[in-house]
Chain A
Amino acid sequence: MVDQNGTADVLIVGAGASGAVAAKRLAEEGFDVVCLEQGDWPDYSKARAGHPDFELTAARDWSWDPNERAWTADYPVDDSDSDITALMWNGVGGGTVVYAAHWQRNMPSDFRVRSLDGVADDWPLSYEELEPHYVRVERDWGVSGLAGDTAFPPGEGPPMPPVPLAEMGKRVAKAHNELGWHWWPAPNAIATTPYGRLHACVQRATCLRGCAEGAKASVDLTYWPDAVELGAKLVTDARVKRLEVDSAGRVTGATWVDADGKERFQGAAVTLLCANGIGTPRLLLLSATESQPDGLANSSGLVGKRLMMHPFGTVVGLFEDPIGSSQGVWGQHLHSLEFYETDADRGFVRGAKWGLQPTGGPLAMTMAYPWGEENSVWGPDFHREIRRRLGHSAMWGFIFEDLPEEANRVELDPERTDSDGIPAAKIIYEMSENSNRMIAFHEQRARESLEAAGAYDVIVAPQIRATGWHLLGTCVMGDDPETSVVDRWGRAHDVPNLYVFDGSTWPTSSGMNPTATIAAMALRFADRLIETRRNQKGAS
């Protein structure tokens, strides 16, 4: 096997949000960083927002589902025993390439779920401990929004002004004021002015399908060019097969497979896993040894357990007069956290964040989601229905908090493999009764919101499976090695030079889009690694 980059100070597996933040921060401090990424750079020539073929090509070239794409960089994820399909982007930038860029900090209660609501677990840190990292990462990342949101403690806000409310946002804001409900100009990882390497957004409402403008802050555009300039080595088409361990139980590096199928080795003193809530436990399970037969760093038995994916919902309002909703940011124009905190009278614990979004172009008006098969456009009412929807509709999207349950999990697929013969992943996930009650409650409140805003008709989207954008919780963080996989700094309890920096570490899922907290946590973990570098034990 070839070790072309020598032994690095730090090996990072995965070039998504957490890997990018770690690579840049560590390279700034002079660490010799190598990142192995199984995919390639995004091909933005396929981002067709300004062209008439956009709606025809977007779902093919920017699909979120690895099983549907089945590109060489993807690995199969068997979701036949899951209520939700896992979505991801396997390439430089990771999920930020196709995320909606909703930049949501967690609220203070998200770190104290056990203390406040008597369920699940507290995080081994508080909002106040993470807040300085949110502030720093928001400057680096390129975030727009407005300080002073009454759903959060006072503090510094994002560096760019918020996106416009748009006509839909003005109507909903006024309605919420009449109802006495919270709303705030939405935080987005979208540039509203030229910012660093980002151009200003031009509101084509195509954020989820590769931003053609270079306005959405995805880490392939923001962090990675800086990290590479600082000396980090980013190796693409590099699929990690397993982590290697020495006789002392420390990770020596990773065996990986290049684009030609050739097996290689990358040595490192310290290894960071940043491969998302499915890829990271998959790799730990693949790295089982004689002394750790249930998977590396798995003495707790919790590697792969407690998978959380955020049930998702949508409610659409139809308005008589045009509101320009084929355009805008997607993204979110405003958000509401009115029903985020637990209220025991509702019959469930925890809550959801709402984001107000456009609905897109004419082809999107014909789809079963969010419109529902019972509202099919086909047939005699086609033209009336398209005109009713196109430019006349706004929708609330909800991120519902799901609580950790050990039965919801990631395993190695006993049968299927990826294109290099490495066992694929299988997920088992069942939505809970708490989630179902939460969904029903929020959908009813959203109906009231949109009706108050002037909608003459409201459509509650069907629950569909293809909504698992957020992959969390499968290498839980905690102070007790018997009940957690990594400590509060992301370090594996069982392996002193192995870290998990991605959303796998989350003890609970919050009801927020997770990228802001994944990024802030990665920065916090990286800072700690830098502070303690002299004490760090490497491989022998």
Chain B
Amino acid sequence: MSVESTAPGAPAPDPDPAIGAELKTTLAGLADVLIPAGEGMPSGGEVVVGRDALGAVLRIRPELAGGLHELLEAVRGEDPAAALGRLESDDAAAFGLLTTVVAGGYFFDRQVREALDYHGQQAVPIETLEPPDYERDGLLASVVERGPIYRPTPPE
């Protein structure tokens, strides 16, 4: 499993046990339509259900479990593409919840992040450059040459 472990300090209860195997299959079907496999990347279902990114998401965002369960129950047995079309047009909140879980789980997966060459919001200390970047190639000098652009305070 390549999914990151729960972040330090975050609560780590079991994922909602009500999202059982059948609903996970439903979720995988939806996730595969939202994020199909291709261009060297796995599908949404493979990552979110197959690699259990869902478990990680629900440990971090346990408040999403109830709504997710409800929407999966509502679309169980439907054609995934048709169900997604209906959700997107009729129930923006449910569609938003679903895409947060699917894409949130997908991009939480270490292999996916590495394949995207995305390594999180990294620390990049500010370098002191001499001359500063804004002075190179006459960048700022050009602005100064164009002169003031403000309207001064008019006399009383």
Contacts and interface: CB of A to CB of B under 8 A. Distances in A.
Q: Which of A57, A128, A384 has the most CB of B within 10 A?
A: A57
B117 to A, nearest CB: 8
A53 B150 contact: no
Given A50-B123, A326-B121, A148 B103 contact: no
Interface residues of B, number: 57
Contacts of A148: 144
Contact of A182 (B103, B134, B149): B149
B20 interface: no
Contact of A363 (B7, B104, B139): B104
Interface string A136-161: 00000000001010111100000001
A127 B139 CA distance: 28
A205 B121 contact: yes
A76 interface: no
A108 B152 contact: yes
Contacts of A391: 117-118
A contacts with B: majority SS: loop
B150 A153 contact: yes
A164 B151 CA distance: 28
A533 interface: no
B contacts with A: majority SS: loop
A116 B118 contact: no
Contacts of B6: 53
Contacts of A337: 149-150
Interface string A375-407: 000111011101100110000000000000000
Contacts of A150: 143-144, 146-150
Interface string A283-311: 00000000000000000000000000000
B57 A380 contact: no
Given A151-B148, A327-B124, 19 more contacts: A48-B7, A52-B108, A52-B110, A153-B150, A153-B152, A162-B132, A164-B129, A170-B133, A170-B139, A177-B139, A203-B126, A327-B121, A341-B151, A380-B38, A382-B34, A383-B35, A383-B39, A387-B116, A391-B118
17 contacts: A45-B9, A52-B108, A55-B107, A60-B63, A127-B153, A150-B146, A150-B150, A151-B149, A174-B139, A185-B132, A203-B124, A203-B126, A204-B121, A361-B107, A366-B103, A378-B34, A387-B39
Interface of A: 45, 48-57, 60, 107-109, 111-112, 115-116, 126-128, 146, 148, 150-153, 161-165, 169-170, 173-174, 176-177, 180, 182-185, 192-193, 200-206, 213, 326-327, 337-338, 340-341, 361-363, 366, 378-380, 382-384, 386-387, 390-391
Interface of B: 4, 6-10, 33-36, 38-39, 41, 57, 60-61, 63, 84, 99-100, 103-104, 107-108, 110, 113, 116-118, 120-129, 132-134, 137, 139-140, 142-144, 146-154
